[in-house]
Amino acid sequence: MLNINNNSSEALSHCNEDLSSSQSVYKIDTKFLEQVSLDPSIKDLASNIDKFDSLVTVSKIYHRLCKTLRYDQAAFLSLGNGAKLIHEVDKHRDPRFISQVSIDRNEVICNDFSVIFAKLALSMFPNMLLSIRETYTGMSNDVMHISSIVDGTDIGHLEADPLASFTRSDFLRARLGLLPIGLRSANASISPDDTYYKYHNWNDPSNLDKLLEIIQEDIRSFELPAVEAASFAKGALRTAIGRVGYKVRVSNCEHDNNLVSTYTLTGLSNEEISKISLSEGALKNFN
């Protein structure tokens, strides 16, 4: 995400397309990219990739990044707090911070993902054209969502947006062993959501404990990071019990530096059925 109140971003240059009142596209400022020096462990993600097919190469770079990076917990927790969110966004726009991202220090948001993706793609294909799309989110302080646009002779026009949705982000899908859906040609339709395919046919909504056990097993077996785990639990619960008209409300907080998510399940008459918490990969039913 990006706050554009302050003359947009140093990472962006002249706006070359005004798609609508809610979107703008900018060319990436190469001078800004030069201020970012990728960590060697991130540079290595582009190694051992054959450049014979540029589309395959860009796809592999994208997929490797999605498997390596995770969403920043502090930024996730600040989504409902304008001042804190702007602080987190500004941090992830700083070239010094982006330069510190590594396979061990791997928390990012859409801003630094786009910069890292651009650096790696350009390291393989220097003549490739890259742009940034800002999409209005409706959040306070004019915070924008950032995605990338790639143009090349052999690949055509691609859009890269791994974080369009937390519950079906490519950070999550890559860890679940599913194909990425955020890298696609500009006019391609959005793929059907198969992120929660195993929960679509859940046929025992009354057996909540069994459902929580299965969700927890998935979170742990796929070693999902905190934000991806919280998003997965939300998506799985909504998929499984939504079929019978139940709803899931979610709130998030931090306790002892850990993300704690609370899922409130309500019935057809909006009565509370159960309250569930997720912390450090463990789901607990309070009812």
Following DSSP, what letter does each residue of 150-171 receive, concatenated? EEETTTEEEEE-TTS-GGG-HH
Is the domain of 53 the same as that of 176?
yes
Is the domain of 17 the same as that of 151?
yes
Is the domain of 212 the same as that of 174?
no
Name the nearest CA neighbour of 9 among 121, 131, 127.
Answer: 131
- Domain-embedded: residue 11: yes
Question: How far is residue 172's CA from residue 76's CA, in Å, rounded to a whole number?
Answer: 14
Contacts of 251 (CB under 8 A, 6+ apart): 261, 262, 264
- Domain-embedded: residue 104: yes
Residue 7 has pLDDT above 60, yes or no: no
Residue 13 has pLDDT above 90, yes or no: no
Is the domain of 209 the same as that of 156?
no
Pairing of strands 107-108, 70-71: parallel
Confidence of residue 17 (pLDDT cuts 50, 70, 90): very low
The last residue of one of the domains, among 145, 162, 185, is: 185
Confidence of residue 287 (pLDDT cuts 50, 70, 90): confident
- Domain-embedded: residue 192: no
- Domain-embedded: residue 138: yes
The last residue of one of the domains, among 162, 185, 208, is: 185
Is the domain of 138 the same as that of 247?
no
The last residue of one of the domains, among 159, 185, 211, is: 185
Print burial letters for 143-182: b (CB count within 10 Å at least 16), e (below 16).
bbbbbbbbebeebeebbbbbbbbbbbbbbbbbbeeeebbb
- Domain-embedded: residue 151: yes
Is the domain of 62 the same as that of 153?
yes
Is the domain of 56 the same as that of 19?
yes
Q: Which amino acid is at 25?
A: V
- Domain-embedded: residue 260: yes
Using left for φ > 0, alpha for ψ between -120 and 50, and beta otherwise, residue 177 falls in left
Is the domain of 113 the same as that of 251?
no
Query: What are the pLDDT digits (tens) for 84-141?
Result: 888 999 999 999 999 999 999 999 999 999 999 999 999 999 988 999 888 877 666 6
Question: How far is residue 278's CA from residue 261's CA, in Å, rounded to a whole number?
Answer: 5
pTM of the model: 0.89
Is the domain of 273 the same as that of 161?
no
Is the domain of 69 the same as that of 133?
yes
- Domain-embedded: residue 190: no
Question: How far is residue 273's CA from residue 249's CA, in Å, rounded to a whole number?
Answer: 12
Number of structural domains, the chain?
2
Range of the domain at 209: 197-285
Is the domain of 28 the same as that of 155?
yes
227 and 71 Cβ atoms separated by less than 8 Å: yes
Q: Which residue has the tokens 């790639």?
A: 150
pLDDT, mean of residues 204-230:
94
Is the domain of 132 the same as that of 269?
no
- Domain-embedded: residue 191: no
Higher pLDDT, 102 or 208: 102
